[in-house]
Structure 1
Amino acid sequence: MSLTSVFNIAGTGMSAQSTRLNTISSNIANAETVSSSVDQTYRARHPVFATMYQTATQNSGDQGSLFAEQDQSGVGVQVMGVIEDQSSLMPRYEPDHPSADENGYVYYPNVNVVEEMADMISASRSFQTNVEMMNTAKQMMQRVLTLGQ
């Protein structure tokens, strides 16, 4: 793995964390929206990530076959999709609410704002870590260029 691939890997990580932050902000924005039916109520959304692998295509004699499994290295992360949380919604008895159904219930989303805030902090820190990896790789490349001086 070359030093330049660090930029690609960190870039995919930053992109994935941006998607995570976008879904978290959507969840928080819709945390207090109500509906008169279960089908129309907003459900929390969560991104699903997967590791992207690159397998070695060149085998060099016996050593290539010995290290074939070790040659698999992660080349980044990809967003497989965004799924809806299927946990139960929160019905509340509010007969005076304009969106209440015929039984007086309104349905609130299954968004836990405290969990979303914790996820937001985690996503933000992961994004920062990827930025620091890029900065470190850039500094290392600059130092390599000054070796011949």
Structure 2
Amino acid sequence: MNDLRSSVAAAASGMQSQANRLRYISENIANADTPGYRRKLASFEAVMDGGQATGAVRSGRVILDQTELPAIYDPAHPLADETGYYQGSNVDLVIEIADAREAQRSYEANLKMFDQARQMSSSLLDLLRR
């Protein structure tokens, strides 16, 4: 029964981490046109228990993408310098959509693992009742 509990905990932590990742992706998409905005990246850390990996993960620190911000020429923009350029955002919508699909698929895989563990524990309880 402890193995089922740990598999449910691992699946739940995976779903929580992927939900956080989707939140960062949605923030990136919402700020794609914000001047000077740096793309946020999610990091994951393994959960340790007494030096042993539990199979669970948790969201780590938010990492800002350090790629160079593009220089956009628009002399009429209020943030433009004396040469007419301002720093744009380093968010690429194609990458964000691909990351969102990957996070969604990972979330769904964890959800299936959670459901399988729940069904197995339910079946075990049914067997024990007989």
Contact 1:54 1:75 in 2 (8 A): no
Match of 1:99 among 79, 82, 88: 79
Q: Which amino acid aligns with 1:13?
A: G
Within the candidate set 70, 77, 93, 1:90 is matched to 70
Alignment of 1:117-136 (within 5 A): 117-136=97-116
The aligned residue for residue 9 of structure 1 is 10
**What displacement does 1:47 show?**
1.4
User: 1:73, 1:33 → 2: CA distance?
Assistant: 40
Secondary structure at the aligned position of 2:42 is classed as strand
2:69 maps to 1:74: no
Following the alignment from structure 1 to structure 2, what is the Cα–Cα distance between the partners of residues 80 and 99?
33
* Distance in 1 of aligned mates of 2:16 and 2:123: 27
- Whichever residue aligns with residue 7 of structure 2, its letter is V
SS at match of 1:146: helix
> How far did 1:95 drift?
1.2
- Amino acid in structure 1 at the alignment position of 2:29: I
Aligned counterparts of 1:129 and 1:45: Cα–Cα separation in 2: 24
Distance 1:48 1:146 in 2: 40
* Residue identity (%): 40
- Equivalent residue number for residue 54 of structure 1: 49
1:113 aligns with 2:93: yes
Opposite residue 119 of structure 1, the aligned amino acid is: D
Larger Rg: 1
Aligned length: 128
For structure 1, the 5+ residue unaligned runs are 35-40, 57-71
Q: Give the Cα separation in 2 of the matches to 1:11 and 1:143.
A: 20
1:30 alignment partner in structure 2: 31
Contact 2:32-2:93 at 8 Å conserved across structures: yes
SS at match of 1:53: strand
Q: Secondary structure at the match of 1:136?
A: helix
Q: Determine whether 1:146 maps to 2:120.
A: no
- What value does the CA root-mean-square deviation take over the aligned residues? 1.6
Please give the secondary structure, in 2, of the residue aligned with 1:4.
helix
Quick check: 1:94–1:105 contact (8 Å CA) kept in 2? yes
